[in-house]
Each structure stands twice: as structure tokens, then as C-alpha cells.
């Protein structure tokens, strides 16, 4: 009956060495609490911020990749709020002159999701809540770390679309080298704005769900709010505009506070920071240095013969696409065959080991050689699958084949004695095949087993068919 209207606010931790306005390390993950701080990020009297030029470049690059309008100048503002993890009692952010405006992201369905704005801001600290304690602890290691906030238009219409958008944004950020975009390390977080309405009606009252740290939580929080708000509206009750949190254990949202408006933050231009020049020359240089984006990669893979779904899988992971491109340079066969091995067989072993591709000793040229051995009829696919774990660990597939005598038996005279033995030992199967030729696969499997997997399957099938009429 009701449909959701959804917008996202996505926060990306930028990949810089230092924080946004001081020289402290931007990498605060896993450090001892409150060891990565200085007078600037603590907001001590007399300290003055200096803009991190690298952070500006990364933010502009991301905005340009999303098709945003990037003006010649951008400005920082103070956003006032009082909370234990905000040491200055305000956050340096951007208000009416952000990095970029009016961008877009296209989903696989072809739906275009508008991007309202991209802006830079400093991160807050972190509150730690000890178990069974009556107090909380404040860790300011990440206070002042550079964040890029991307705000979408209310164009999303389902939890699945929200999750797809987040995957797309993460892929773009990683491809550009803008952010690691790792939710598990707090380097990609999202807030959800959601309201319900009758299809085609005006927007309803929106509710914000804050600080969602995984794509699954984003989808689950949206699904819960859809049910909660729909029930209220069906009962004739009003939706309150508020900020809510998400209880991951209970898979439900809970009320935190009334929703603030922009006036509540009392924005003012930061008097300690000058206007930042992002002129045409700087934008042109950043555009020229921009690598190939996932959507363009996927199109290139499809043009080379890879199925569209597989092309998207390859293109949207930086390490996988880089590996595939390098392997394709050494491989002369069908691109889809190489893609199959990478996204199915190799990925399966990596999942079992819980190891990313970049952490293995697998070389692109070795995977290309392994698949080429199959194409040339040197080994069977079954033998290749047996060798794959060692190839992943850095072994040369050609050497393995030669050292173990695994080259396929493609000589009919050499295969005849093996086939004779199998037929003699499996008379019941022989009679079944004579009655039903489709049962020949059972005999084929028996010959392959007797040859230790070295027999060439097509030749075995041809010889069996000839022998059995």
C-alpha cells in the first residue's frame, strides 16, 4: 500500500596520511586511546587549523567521478553541536559552498540516483561504553580525520536499491584510491532518511537512522522502518520527525532524539580557514589523473566477451579487476573462460581460506597458463582444479604438470588397453549403455578414473561410442 522514499548520507574516511586540519596521523584504527591527538584536533585555545590539500584533491576527484558540478571555490563552516566526542563543541564542515553539487549514480537497473552534494568535514571522536559500567569513555584518536560526506536525493525505493548504491559508491571510492571504504574499520558509514507515502503522493515525514556500519544493517534498518511507519499510518497515527538508532542484536530501530534542522547547528563561516581554490586547472589535472571507473571497466569486459553479470563482479573489485587485466594480457583464449576460473574456482578457494586475492602468491600469468593448458588439451579441467591450490600458493602450473606426468593421454592406441579393462570390469554398465546410450557418461567416468584423470574426455567418448556401436 505505502511505498518508501529513501535517501542516504554516506561518510567515507579519506585515504590521507594526516588529518584534515593538522599533522596527526589519519589512521586511528587499533591505536591506544587518545594517543593520536594534538592541540589542533583537540581544539585547544590558540591552535589554528591548516587545510590538508591532499584531502581536497581526493574529495574533488570523487565529486567529479560522480558527475558533480565543482565550483572554482569552496569554503569551510563551523557546525555547532555539543557532545562528548566533539572536543571543540563544533565540527568543521561545509554548508553552502561544498566541494560538489548535483551528481548522479546509475544502478544496474538503469535507474539514476541523484547526488545532492559532496562535502568535506572532520570526523568526531568515539565513545566507548564498558560493559556493566555506569560511565562512558571518550577516545579522540579519530577526531579531525578527513571525511567525505555524500548525500543522495530521496530517489531510492527499496532496501535492495540502497544496498546496491552503497556497493557502487564503495567500488568507485576504491577504484579512485579515495578511500578504503571498509565498513568493518569504520571507514564507510551511512545514515538513512526514510519516509512512507502512497504511490505518487507527496513525501511523508522522514525519520533518520544514524550511524549504520554495514550494508546489511542499512538494508535491515530500512526494512524495519518500512514496517514500523506503515503500521502507524495504517492506524491513522502521525510519524514523528526524529533521529533513531539501530539495535543490531534486536534488528530494530529505537528513538534517540528529535531531529535537528540546519538552523539548530548555527552554521558560520570558519574565520580561521581561507577560501579554497579549486579552479579549472586543478580540476583538469585531477580529471586527467583519474583511473578507469568500474562502470567503464564492466563495459570493456562485456565487449571482450565476458557475460554482463560476471563483468560487473570483476569490475567492482579493485584487486580482482587489476588481476584479471594482467592475466588477460598473458592469455589468448576466450575472456569468459578466464573469468570463470577467477570468479568461481579461485574465489572459492580464497573464501575457504578467508584470504583476499592480494594476500596470496597467485600470479596472473600462472592462472593464464593453467587455463591455457586446458585449452590446448594438455590437461583436463579436473586436473587443473587439483593443481589450483598449489598454483595459488605460487607454483608454476607447467612445472607441476611435467614433474608429475599429468599430460593428457590423447593417443587412441594408448587408451585402448584402459578402455578394454574398464569394459571387462563393468559388463553391467555396458549393457545399460547399449540399452540407453545416454548412460555412456558412467563408463566415461570409469575410464577417466582408471587413467588417473589423464585421458582426454572427448577422445574417450569417441572411442567408447565406436566400441559400443
pLDDT in tens, the chain (469 residues): 889 999 999 999 999 999 999 999 998 777 899 999 999 999 999 999 999 999 999 999 999 999 999 999 999 999 988 888 888 889 999 999 999 999 999 998 899 999 999 999 999 998 888 888 889 899 999 999 999 999 999 999 999 999 999 999 999 999 999 999 999 888 999 999 999 999 888 899 999 999 899 999 999 999 999 999 999 999 989 999 999 999 988 899 999 877 666 667 788 999 999 999 999 999 999 999 999 999 999 999 999 999 999 999 999 999 999 999 999 999 999 999 999 999 999 999 999 998 999 999 999 999 999 999 999 888 888 889 999 999 999 999 999 998 888 776 665 666 677 777 877 777 777 777 776 777 677 777 777 777 776 676 777 777 777 777 6
Sign for the pseudo-dihedral over CA of 18, 20, 23, 29 = negative
Q: Which fold, 412-468? A: Arc Repressor Mutant, subunit A (1.10.10)
pTM value > 0.95 = no
Cα distance between residue 154 and residue 96, in whole Å: 19
User: Do residues 70 and 42 make contact, with C-beta atoms less than 8 angstroms apart?
Assistant: no
Burial of residue 186, with CB atoms counted within 10 A of its CB: 0-12 exposed, 13-18 middle, 19 or more buried? middle
Angle at 324 between CA 322 and CA 325, to 5 degrees: 65
Cα–Cα nearest to 299, from 271, 274, 321, 279: 321
DSSP of 312-365: HHHHTSHHHHHHHHHHHHH--S-HHHHHHIIIIIIHHHHHHHT--GGGS---HH
Give the other-Cβ count within 10 Å of 149's Cβ: 20
Q: Where along the chain do the CATH 1.10.10 domains lie?
A: 412-468
Please tell me the distance from the alpha carbon of residue 381 to that of residue 374, in angstroms, as a whole number: 6
Amino acid at each position: 500500500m505505502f511505498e518508501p522514499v529513501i535517501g542516504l548520507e554516506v561518510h567515507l574516511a579519506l585515504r590521507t596520511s594526516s588529518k584534515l586540519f593538522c599533522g596527526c596521523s589519519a589512521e586511528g584504527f587499533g591505536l591506544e586511546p587518545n594517543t593520536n591527538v594534538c592541540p589542533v584536533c583537540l581544539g585547544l585555545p590558540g591552535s589554528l587549523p591548516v587545510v590538508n590539500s591532499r584531502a581536497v584533491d581526493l574529495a574533488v576527484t570523487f565529486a567529479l567521478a560522480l558527475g558533480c558540478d565543482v565550483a572554482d571555490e569552496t569554503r569551510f563552516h563551523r557546525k555547532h553541536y555539543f557532545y562528548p566526542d566533539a572536543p571543540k563543541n563544533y565540527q568543521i564542515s561545509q554548508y553552502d559552498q561544498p566541494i560538489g553539487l548535483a551528481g548522479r549514480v546509475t544502478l544496474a537497473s538503469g535507474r539514476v540516483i541523484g547526488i545532492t552534494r559532496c562535502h568535506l568535514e572532520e570526523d568526531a571522536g568515539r565513545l566507548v561504553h564498558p560493559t556493566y559500567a555506569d560511565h562512558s569513555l571518550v577516545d579522540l584518536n579519530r577526531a579531525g580525520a578527513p571525511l567525505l560526506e555524500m548525500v543522495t536525493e530521496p530517489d531510492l525505493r527499496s532496501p535492495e536499491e540502497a544496498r546496491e548504491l552503497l556497493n557502487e559508491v564503495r567500488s568507485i571510492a576504491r577504484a579512485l584510491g579515495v578511500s578504503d571504504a571498509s565498513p568493518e574499520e569504520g571507514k564507510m558509514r551511512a545514515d538513512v532518511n526514510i519516509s512512507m507515502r502512497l504511490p505518487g503522493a507527496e513525501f511523508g515525514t522522514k525519520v533518520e537512522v544514524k550511524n549504520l556500519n554495514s550494508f546489511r544493517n542499512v538494508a535491515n534498518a530500512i526494512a524495519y522502518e518500512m514496517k514500523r511507519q506503515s503500521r502507524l499510518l495504517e492506524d491513522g497515527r502521525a510519524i514523528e520527525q526524529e533521529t533513531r538508532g539501530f539495535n543490531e542484536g534486536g534488528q530494530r530501530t529505537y528513538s534517540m532524539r528529535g531531529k535537528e534542522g540546519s538552523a539548530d547547528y548555527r552554521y558560520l563561516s570558519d574565520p580561521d580557514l581561507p577560501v579554497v581554490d579549486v579552479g579549472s586547472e586543478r580540476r583538469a589535472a585531477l580529471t586527467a589523473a583519474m583511473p578507469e571507473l568500474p562502470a567503464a571497466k564492466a563495459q570493456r569486459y562485456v565487449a571482450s566477451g565476458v557475460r554482463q553479470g560476471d563483468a560487473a563482479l570483476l569490475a567492482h573489485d579493485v584487486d580482482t579487476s587489476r588481476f584479471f587485466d594482467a592475466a588477460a594480457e598473458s592469455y589468448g583464449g576466450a575472456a569468459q573462460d578466464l573469468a570463470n576460473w577467477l570468479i568461481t574456482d579461485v574465489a572459492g578457494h580464497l573464501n575457504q581460506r578467508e584470504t583476499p586475492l592480494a594476500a596470496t602468491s597467485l600470479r596472473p600469468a600462472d592462472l593464464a597458463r593453467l587455463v591455457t593448458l586446458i585449452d590446448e588439451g594438455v590437461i583436463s579441467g579436473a586436473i587443473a582444479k587439483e593443481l589450483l591450490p598449489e598454483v595459488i600458493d605460487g607454483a608454476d602450473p607447467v612445472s607441476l604438470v611435467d614433474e608429475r606426468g599429468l599430460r593428457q593421454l590423447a593417443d587412441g592406441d594408448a587408451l585402448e588397453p584402459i578402455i578394454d579393462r574398464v569394459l571387462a570390469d563393468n559388463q553391467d554398465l555396458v549393457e545399460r549403455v547399449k540399452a540407453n546410450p545416454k548412460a555412456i557418461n558412467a563408463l566415461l567416468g570409469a575410464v577417466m578414473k582408471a587413467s588417473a584423470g589423464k585421458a582426454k574426455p572427448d577422445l574417450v567418448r569417441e572411442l567408447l561410442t565406436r566400441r559400443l556401436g
